[in-house]
Amino acid sequence: MHRCLVVSDLHLCDVEEHHDGWKAYKSSRHVFDYDLERLVNQSIDSRPEAACFTLVLNGDILDFDLVCAVPSPPAWPVSRSERLRGLDPTGPKSAWKCDRILDHHPVFIRTLARVLCSGHEVVIVMGNHDRELHFLEVRQVIVDRLLARVKEGGGTCDPSSIRFEPWFYYVPGEIYAEHGNQYDYYSSFKFLLHPTVNIGNEELLALPMGNLSNRYLMTRMGFFNPHSTDFIQNVFSYAIHWLRFYAFKRRSLVWIWFWGSMVVMARLLRLKKHLRKRPDGYQGLREGVVHDNGLADVTVDGLERLQRPPITSRFFRIIREFWIDRLVMSLVMIGGTVALALVPIPLWIKLMVPLSCFPLVFFVYERAVHGEDVFTVDSKLPSIARSIADLVPVKLVTMGHTHRPALIPLTQGVSFANTGTWASVSRWTDRGEPPGFRNYLQADFDRGDPAITLGSCSGPAHDYPDPNSLSPGTQ
Quick: pLDDT tens for 250-304.
777 888 888 888 889 888 988 888 888 899 999 999 999 999 999 999 999 999 9
> What CATH fold (topology level) applies to the domain 2-194+276-312+373-469?
Purple Acid Phosphatase; chain A, domain 2 (3.60.21)
Contact 212, 90 (CB under 8 A): no
How much is the pLDDT for 472? 35
Can you give the pLDDT at residue 245? 79
Per-residue pLDDT at 111: 96
Average pLDDT score over residue span 443-462: 80
pLDDT at 427 over 80: no
414-418 β-sheet, strand order: 168-171, 175-178, 396-399, 414-418, 406-411
pLDDT at 231: 63
- Least-confidence region, from 228-237, 373-382, 387-396: 228-237
Say if residues 402 and 377 touch (Cβ distance below 8 Å). yes
C-alpha–C-alpha distance, residues 384 and 242, integer Å = 38
Dihedral sign computed on CA atoms, order 318, 322, 324, 326: positive
Q: What angle do CA 165, 162, 181 make, to 5 degrees?
A: 25
The confidence score (pLDDT) of residue 250 equals 75
Q: What is the mean pLDDT of residues 322-343?
A: 90
Supply the mean pLDDT for the chain.
Answer: 88
Local confidence band at 29 (pLDDT 50, 70, 90 cut-offs):
confident
* pLDDT value for 18: 87
Q: Which range, of 242-246, 305-309, 404-408, 461-465, averages the lowest pLDDT?
A: 461-465
Is 465 a residue whose pLDDT tops 60?
no
Is residue 433 predicted with pLDDT exceeding 50?
Answer: no
pLDDT score recorded for residue 401: 93
CA distance linking residue 36 with residue 164, whole number of Å: 20
Rounded CA separation 104/147 (Å): 18
Confidence of residue 323 (pLDDT cuts 50, 70, 90): confident
Q: How far is Cα 415 from Cα 6, in angstroms, rounded to an integer?
A: 14
Cα-based distances in Å from 20 to 17, 84, 105, 148? 9, 20, 24, 38
Tens-place pLDDT, residues 76-134: 999 998 998 899 999 999 999 999 999 999 999 999 999 999 899 999 999 999 999 99
Top mean pLDDT of 212-221, 240-249, 270-279, 331-340 is at: 331-340
pLDDT of residue 458: 67
Instruction: Count CB neighbours of 376 within 10 A.
Output: 14
28 neighbors 469 (Cβ within 8 angstroms): no
- In angstroms, the CA 52 to CA 44 distance is 9
CA distance 401 to 181: 6
Give residue 426's pLDDT band: very low, low, confident or very high (50, 70, 90): low
Task: Tell me: pLDDT of 316 over 70.
Answer: yes
User: Which backbone phi and psi does 54 adopt, to 5 degrees?
Assistant: -130, 125
Q: Are strands 162-165 and 396-399 parallel, antiparallel or unpaired?
A: unpaired
